[in-house]
Structure 1
């Protein structure tokens, strides 16, 4: 389903490009800005987020990742454990010190991940008007690298779309736009504010290990109009318990247009495969969100395990 959607949409992508044309190539934070919506995070907002902690309960939002974790093709990853310098099962030194090391082989964009601002653009133009010819390099991006992203500490908001649709797993192809987002938020008694991290719960991750084909074949998610709505609110990041955050099959004959709106046009980070199940179970609709991603120089994405604290 996914491949068919991509192939069908690709034919019409060039024709759809004028719809994307707008003055989005200049960041409101200046020509040298590389962190986008992370600029919304201020010391005052961090302190306000800390005030949301009432019980001290923590939630790991990242999922365990291994060779069997479904991923957007052709991505994959595996862990290899080795015992260097210990040939013949001999320890090191007279005290026989032994240890394990590990190597990760594969793609970074597997499992729970953050899309950096150098991940997806519009016709080779990325956030703040950066052209890939000027900053792209096989050894690492010269701009917009994942290492540039500061610690993301913010007020987190969970929008439970499974509860909104009264189902355990929201159907693939279901788009969340302004109407659905506002109605779900109102039903939960929460408000989306500037500087927030917004997460959607759909129940989609519950398919992992049970129906991987369906999990990879499509997903419910954010629609184009919904993405514009959230960026107009000034959110720092948008995430979901799905592999791509945006709705698939796509709403129109475009490919990952929501990614373009969030990343390239507004500098809003994308958080994929967030485990929101426990937060939804506890009706944790407002919380302190904390993320400090691995800072691989020039990296495009990063595997992450952010924490929600209530």
Structure 2
């Protein structure tokens, strides 16, 4: 299958991207959504919203026991959406003379922040105007040995209520075309159509149909064009008090509608709101499972690697219906 060609416009005039946002408007929005100083420990950010009671209520959502993994396969092939392919090679093949039993070992490695690996972004991943979440100075908090604040190891495992906002299922499209911006009214309309409401302590997962489009049309450069949230949708997510935001892309619409800020949703979520992100999830099977079950809320389990100083981690989130 050949690679799909996605035609994009330069700047903020991409069709369907929505209104352009000036740097001054974005800075005002950043200040309005800041939750700095709200929680202890600060580097868990919005995950502090998830109490034992949240976990108990999420567990009550398990009815059929259907388990749906949400990670993409480990992608070792280069392509327009995989500039730094993951590594997988055999480090021992059991062919050397040694006592029984023979042993087979393999090595895995990835520069996982990108468009190919399903991963979690910790709060140390993004700084805006030199500051991480909670106002920590990035140059002081993140160095060659990793992050001393906002590391993925501070987050630990997350168990909470997940909500899938399946936008193509609502619109009747196969997918949202690259460059399509999702606004707050789109999220509310999806809630109404799907019979679900997201709220305090929830993890919201946004399906745009990216992987279905990739399967049918081929890969494309997601930095050039991808469907995702417009920054004007973020106040709704902040008002509802979500703990995690994720999707089958990286949540940002591209091209960016904000002058001079290439990943404005990342910036608002991580650096202002303290909301970790789940990028590049595999949501096609979850879409089918939710449609079959007739419900779009489920138990969600996310267990990142315990990497001291890590700015994130590859993950295999699991939804249980």
Q: Which runs of 5+ in 2 are unaligned?
A: 1-5, 14-20
Distance (whole Å) between structure 2 residues aligned to residue 219 and residue 211 of structure 1: 14
Match of 2:44 among 22, 35, 39: 35
- Confirm whether residue 250 of structure 1 aligns to residue 256 of structure 2: yes
Distance (whole Å) between structure 1 residues aligned to residue 240 and residue 151 of structure 2: 25
Compute the displacement of 1:214 (Å). Answer: 5.4
- Confirm whether residue 45 of structure 1 aligns to residue 49 of structure 2: no
Distance (whole Å) between structure 1 residues aligned to residue 150 and residue 79 of structure 2: 27
Distance (whole Å) between structure 1 residues aligned to residue 27 and residue 213 of structure 2: 37
- Confirm whether residue 104 of structure 1 aligns to residue 108 of structure 2: yes
Q: Which residue in the other structure is 2:18 paired with? A: none
Using the size of structure 1 for normalisation, the TM-score is: 0.88
Name the count of aligned residue pairs.
301
Q: Which residue in the other structure is 1:182 paired with? A: 188
- Is the CA contact (8 Å cut-off) linking 1:27 and 1:36 kept in structure 2? no
- Is the CA contact (8 Å cut-off) linking 1:157 and 1:198 kept in structure 2? yes
Distance (whole Å) between structure 1 residues aligned to residue 148 and residue 307 of structure 2: 12
Distance (whole Å) between structure 2 residues aligned to residue 103 and residue 7 of structure 1: 42
Q: Which runs of 5+ in 1 are unaligned?
A: none
Q: Which residue in the other structure is 2:317 paired with? A: 306
Q: Which residue in the other structure is 1:292 paired with? A: 303
Map 1:46-195; keep pairs closer than 5 Å: 46-68=55-77, 70=79, 74-83=83-92, 89-93=95-99, 96-109=100-113, 110-195=116-201
- Is the CA contact (8 Å cut-off) linking 1:204 and 1:215 kept in structure 2? no
Cα RMSD over matched residues?
2.7
* CA displacement, residues 20-58 of structure 1 (integer Å, 9 cap, x when unaligned): 56273723115x511001101100010000000000000
Match of 1:259 among 258, 266, 279: 266
Using the size of structure 2 for normalisation, the TM-score is: 0.85
- Is the CA contact (8 Å cut-off) linking 1:37 and 1:267 kept in structure 2? yes
Compute the displacement of 1:221 (Å). Answer: 0.8
**What SS is found at the alignment partner of 1:118?**
helix
Q: Which residue in the other structure is 2:280 paired with? A: 273
Residues 18 and 292 (structure 1 numbering): CA distance in 2 closer, same or farther, change over 3 Å?
A: closer
* CA displacement, residues 164-207 of structure 1 (integer Å, 9 cap, x when unaligned): 22201111121112111001111111111100001111111123
- Is the CA contact (8 Å cut-off) linking 2:12 and 2:257 kept in structure 1? no
Match of 1:26 among 24, 29, 36: 36
Q: Using the TM superposition, name which of 206-215 and 231-240 deviates more.
A: 206-215
